[in-house]
């Protein structure tokens, strides 16, 4: 099996390779091709992978290239994990919005729309190339905003593109652990869009254990989402929201905290990553140890302002060692490559899983996965409050797709204006002006 990673110079690539190194079974990935537009970053990451592979006799060989077509040819799996505009772009997404008084975040709200407008045209071009050069490949999309980008790619790749995110898995695990249940035996009733979903039940041996958690304030305050959202809200909602819903339910506090923060997350990561890649250019730098230290620092400060607003304190130790992201990717590839049937929460076209959305809408729901791909499972309907947010944000995503296709500035304004976290059309217009000024990649919005 040949795996091609688009964005192969990215910081999270060693997580994926590390997971592959633990897989010795037949049908495993036996060749890895890293593709990136930045040769320097490719070299840095290849050095980390090289150290990871040391002393592992069957480690999949790695080649790195800046030639896209060469990277795609013969691929069985394509991971797409690119960042159009880099972390400087992310920092600008955050800053422009915060300066206008609305949330500036990587994937949620105005920042996510700007990121989507930049990324969709590139993702569509990649999808077209994959369809042409590797028509039988399965594409696994990590590129954010993952739901929107997966939907854009699905218009060209159909169900051969599957979006993934680590946040639902992490959430399900934390709830299961808090309840003393085995995460691998639990069925998690989770539904929504990427970064906009809720756990409504957690079944073990046919019994829903979630009500036991929701009725127990002590248990609720013992895990991340309980502390982040507060026991009262969770008990009252009767569900556990994905951590990204903190930006919705505590929007005012989150915006203020982000405005007051010394740096945005993107600016912090930009500095941190530049430091990492610079150190990797020095001969003699221990690659793996340097990467691992950088990773731990990054995990420890994840959503720090939100946790501060909530008085949630430090993250639990078990959350700092990652495991979600690469494990979902590996489990998905194994299920497809070996017809090892499993269930995973993934971003796929809805069909009839969520009754409030049409069949083509990419949603994040539990799926059964086998050699034929990911089959979404019908879940119980979302309550009106959740359905309202999900349909509103899907309308925004559709408008982003429309703007990317038509190059229409008015459509871009409409995308911002329709978002529940943008409270004025005047602000939406200023956001479009600000983002076009900040991002050369948005110059394509040249039609009225
Ligand atoms: C989680 C989300 C990703 C997101 C990342 C941001 O893993 O699932 O979609 O990109 O967090 O983390 P960062 O450390 O880049 O702020
Ligand atoms: Mn995610």
pLDDT digits (tens, 9 = 90+) for 369-423: 999 999 999 998 999 999 999 999 999 999 999 999 999 999 999 999 999 999 9
For residue 316, how far is its CA from the centre of ligand 1 (angstroms)? 17
pLDDT at residue number 63: 98
Q: How confident is the model at residue 237 (pLDDT cuts 50, 70, 90)?
A: very high
* pLDDT grade for 320, boundaries at 50, 70 and 90: low
Report yes or no on whether pTM surpasses 0.90: yes
Atom 16, ligand 1: residue with shortest CA distance? 302
Q: What is the pLDDT of residues 174-183, one digit of tens each?
A: 999 999 999 9
What's residue 294's pLDDT? 96
Task: Indicate whether residue 298 lines ligand 1 (CB < 6 A).
Answer: yes
The mean pLDDT value for 312-318 works out to 82
Closest ligand 1 atom, CA of 165?
A: 8
CB of 444 shorter than 6 A to ligand 1: no
User: Of all residues in the chain, what percent carry a pLDDT higher than 70?
Assistant: 99
What is the overall mean pLDDT for the chain?
96
Does the beta carbon of 166 sit less than 6 angstroms from any atom of ligand 1? yes
Expressed in angstroms and rounded, the spacing between residue 358 Cα and the centre of ligand 1 is 28
User: Is there an atom of ligand 1 within 6 Å of 265 CB?
Assistant: yes
Q: Helix/strand/coil (H, E, C) string of the chain?
A: CEEEEECCCCCCHHHHHHHHHCCCCCCCCCEEEEECCCHHHHHHHHHHHHHHHCCCCCCCCEEEECCHHHHHCCCCEEEECCCCCHHHHHHHHHHHHHHCCCCCCCCCHHHHHHHHHHHHHHHHHHHHHHHHHCCCCEEEECCCCHHHHHHHHHHHHHHHEEECCCHHHHHHHHHHHHCCCCHHHCEEEEEEECCEEEEEEEEECCEECHHHHHCCHHHHCCCHHHHHHCHHHHHHHCCEECHHHHHHHCHHHHHHHHHHCCCCHHHHHHHHHHHHHHHHHCCCCCHHHHHHHHHHHHHHCCCHHHHHHHCCCCCCHHHHCCCHHHHHHHHHHHHHHHCCCEEEEEEEECCCCCCCCCCCCEEEEEEEEECCEEEECCCCCCCHHHHHHHHHHHHHHHHHHHHHHHCEHHHHHHHHHHCCCCCCHHHHHHHHHHHHHHCHHHCCCCEC
Complex ipTM: 0.99
> What is the share, in percent, of the chain residues with pLDDT greater than 90?
96
How sure is the predictor about 14, in pLDDT bands with cuts at 50, 70 and 90? very high
Does residue 165's CB lie within 6 angstroms of at least one atom of ligand 1? Answer: yes
Tell me which of 86, 112, 116, 144 to substitute to probe ligand 1's pocket, judged by most ligand atoms within 8 Å of the beta carbon. 144
201 pLDDT above the threshold of 80? yes
């Amino acid at each position: 099996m040949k795996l091609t990673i688009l964005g192969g110079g990215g910081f999270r690539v060693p997580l994926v390779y590390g997971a592959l190194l633990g897989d010795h079974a037949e049908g495993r990935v036996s060749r890895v091709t890293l593709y990136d537009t930045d040769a320097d970053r490719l070299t840095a990451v290849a050095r980390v992978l090289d150290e990871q592979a040391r002393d592992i006799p069957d480690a999949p060989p790695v080649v790195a290239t800046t030639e896209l077509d060469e990277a795609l040819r013969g691929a069985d799996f394509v991971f797409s994990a690119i960042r159009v505009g880099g972390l400087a772009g992310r920092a600008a997404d955050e800053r422009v919005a915060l300066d206008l008084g609305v949330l500036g975040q990587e994937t949620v709200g105005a920042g996510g729309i700007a990121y989507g407008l930049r990324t969709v045209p590139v993702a569509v071009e990649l999808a077209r190339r994959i369809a042409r050069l590797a028509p039988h490949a399965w594409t696994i999309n990590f590129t954010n905003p993952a739901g929107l980008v997966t939907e854009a790619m699905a218009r060209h790749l159909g169900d051969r593109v599957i979006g993934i995110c680590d946040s639902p898995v992490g959430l399900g695990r934390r709830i299961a652990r808090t309840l003393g249940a085995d995460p691998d035996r639990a069925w998690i009733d989770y539904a929504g869009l990427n970064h906009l979903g809720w756990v409504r039940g957690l079944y073990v041996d046919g019994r829903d254990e979630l009500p036991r958690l929701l009725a127990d304030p002590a248990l609720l305050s013992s895990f991340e989402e309980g502390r982040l959202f507060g026991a009262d809200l969770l008990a009252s909602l009767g569900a556990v929201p994905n951590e990204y819903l903190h930006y919705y339910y505590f929007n005012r506090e989150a915006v203020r905290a982000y405005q007051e923060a010394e740096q945005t997350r993107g600016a912090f990561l930009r500095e941190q990553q530049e430091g990492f890649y610079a150190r990797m250019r020095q001969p003699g730098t221990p690659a793996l140890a340097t990467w691992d230290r950088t990773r731990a620092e990054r995990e420890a400060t994840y959503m720090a302002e939100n946790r501060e607003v909530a008085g949630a304190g430090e993250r639990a130790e078990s959350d700092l060692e990652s495991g979600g992201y690469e494990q979902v990717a590996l489990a998905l590839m194994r299920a497809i490559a070996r017809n090892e049937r499993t269930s995973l929460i993934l971003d796929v076209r809805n069909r009839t899983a969520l009754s409030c959305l049409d069949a083509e809408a990419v949603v994040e729901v539990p799926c059964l996965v086998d050699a034929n791909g990911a089959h979404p499972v019908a879940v119980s309907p979302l309550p009106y409050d959740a359905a309202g947010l999900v349909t509103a944000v899907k309308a925004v995503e559709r408008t982003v797709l429309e703007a990317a296709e038509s190059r229409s500035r008015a459509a871009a304004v409409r995308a911002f204006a329709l978002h529940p976290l943008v409270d004025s059309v005047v602000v939406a217009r200023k956001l479009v002006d600000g983002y076009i000024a900040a991002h050369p990649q948005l110059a394509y919005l040249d039609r009225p």
